[in-house]
Amino acid sequence: MKTLLIYPEYPATFWSFKYALRFIHKRAALPPLGLLTIGAMLPKEWPKKLVDMNVEKLTEKDLAWADCAFISGMVVQRASAREIVSRCKEANIKVVAGGPLFTNEYDSFEDVDHFVLNEAELTLPPFLADLEKGTAKRMYETSEFCDIRKTPAPLWELMNLKNYASMSIQFSRGCPFNCEFCNVTALFGHRPRIKTAEQIIAELNGLYEQGWRGQVFFVDDNFIGNKTYLKNHLLPALIQWQKDRKGIPFNTEASVNLADDEPLMEMMVQAGFDAVFIGIETPSEESLAECNKLQNRNRDLMESVKRMQRVGLQVTGGFIVGFDSDTPSIFQRQIDFIQKSGIVTAMVGLLNAPPGTRLYERMRKERRLIDSITGDNADGTTNILPKMGLDALREGYENLMQQIYSPEHYYKRAMIFLREYKRPRVSASLDLQRMLAVLRSSVRLGIFGKERFHYWKMMIWTLFRSPKMFPLSVTLAVYGYHFRKISELRTSQ
């Protein structure tokens, strides 16, 4: 059966890096890891073609070739997914859908022929068996969680690596914490399930053999969910792997208690990790208690961030405003924390209640649900009625975003970070596109950009104080341009 694996297009969002990618002539930040893994689970004899609509168009030729289409995506890709389903039905192609978007909203996609929901390792095999017998049902779902040690490596060969700024792999699923607003545990459970070190090394080898020499993102929702295995198995294996190859920088997501374990941080840096996303959420103890963010409470969050930066891990942070405990003072408190911490990439969003979370159930019981979520973490929308009032929340949020991503605030924050940061041991290779990005940034930002004074101040400072960090300074400048464009786009709507 000739199969299209179709990934919907992302709108311009905080994490799409749409405006930054232009500097390095890449089309997407990350590949569709889920679909590449699904491709490895399908029968080997089926011809397969990946169409990532973030890097190429879905053509009539593609549709004429295919017998069926497997579609996966997240909530933020909803609009593109609808268009794909419609086009496939017009072409009389059987549509099979899964992933977070369809798991949460399957009842709003009437034209999908089959839903393979939850973890495909469990729901795809019975679908394929029924399909072969001609008895395939419309819905396949499970409340169980799979053993990801049996998950095959993604079919990297289906994509053109040159289109992407970074690659992604997955080591674990699940998170031991239970934050009220987070749907990770609803989707993947509390007990972190892990792949073996041998699996991860095999996946990295597959990427390396395909010619990849850039950054790799470990997409785990909490990379440090099983510290014992990390220290005793995975990180030693990664350290050894890096010794035999040109350095490949890694980044990931983790909980803030990573800062409490200096040996673990040191091992991560030695293994090639140079950045980590941390859900800071808020400096308000009351709001942290409200949302059950236990791992963030009763600690000096600022010092935790600095500790990670000083060991060689750039902290990118997630922040939320709109908790019931928040007062109008929260906006300036967030600005002050972000600036003083040197968290350059600070994603700030309004509190939302995704389906399946405890927050969603609480808002439903309190009759405070007002809309469906957009899936965009930083578009200034919410699906709940905040106690602060919508107008006050939106006004405070817009002011916050305008401040932290103004050139003055952004570059000041970047220089605070650069003073604190310990240069990573592993750096991405400086290929032609990245060298050209330096030239493009100096023209677009340093000559024509409204940030040109701040841009050159940081570049000159870096060249004199820490010249080996110059490529990182350029990257931060380019990211700042993207974040400011996104912020301006949101606040002008």
Q: What angle do CA 270, 314, 290 make, to 5 degrees?
A: 120
> pLDDT band for position 468 (50/70/90)?
confident
Average pLDDT on 1-23 reads 96
* pLDDT at residue 370 is higher than 90: yes
**Secondary structure of the chain: what % helix, strand, coil (to 5)?**
50, 15, 35
pLDDT range class, residue 462, cuts 50, 70, 90: very high
Domain boundaries, the chain: 3-140, 166-420
Name the H helices within 254-386.
262-271, 285-290, 301-311, 330-341, 358-365
> What is the pLDDT at residue 226?
96
DSSP character string of 115-157? EE-S-HHHHHHHHHHHHHHT---SEE--S----GGGPPPP-GG
Q: Output the pLDDT for position 181.
A: 96
pLDDT at 274 over 70: yes
pTM value? 0.96
What is the mean pLDDT of the segment spanning 75-95? Answer: 97
CATH architecture assigned to 3-140 = 3-Layer(aba) Sandwich (3.40)
Q: What percentage of the chain reaches a pLDDT higher than 70?
A: 98
Provide the pLDDT for residue 490.
72
Q: What is the pLDDT of residue 186?
A: 83
Res. 430: pLDDT tops 80: no
Q: Position 424: which residue type? A: P
> Under the phi-then-psi rule, with left for phi > 0, alpha for psi from -120 to 50, and beta for the rest, what region is 177?
beta
Residue-wise pLDDT for 222-237, tens only, equals 999 999 999 999 999 9
For the segment 41-60, the average pLDDT, to the nearest whole number, is 98
pLDDT digits (tens, 9 = 90+) for 136-170: 999 999 999 999 999 999 999 999 999 999 999 99
Supply the pLDDT for residue 247.
79
The mean pLDDT value for 87-116 works out to 97
| pLDDT value, residue 434 | 74
Question: How would residue 185 be classed by pLDDT, with cut points 50, 70 and 90?
Answer: confident
Rounded mean pLDDT, 47-73: 98
Query: Residue range 117-127: average pLDDT?
Result: 98
Task: Quickly state the pLDDT bin for 491 (edges 50, 70, 90).
Answer: low
CATH code for 166-420?
A: 3.20.20.70
Q: What is the pLDDT of residue 418?
A: 95
The rounded distance, in Å, linking the Cα atoms of 418 and 423 is 9
Per-residue 3-state assignment (H helix, E strand, C coil) for 426-454: CCCCCCHHHHHHHHHHHHHCCCCCCCHHH
For the chain, give the mean pLDDT.
95
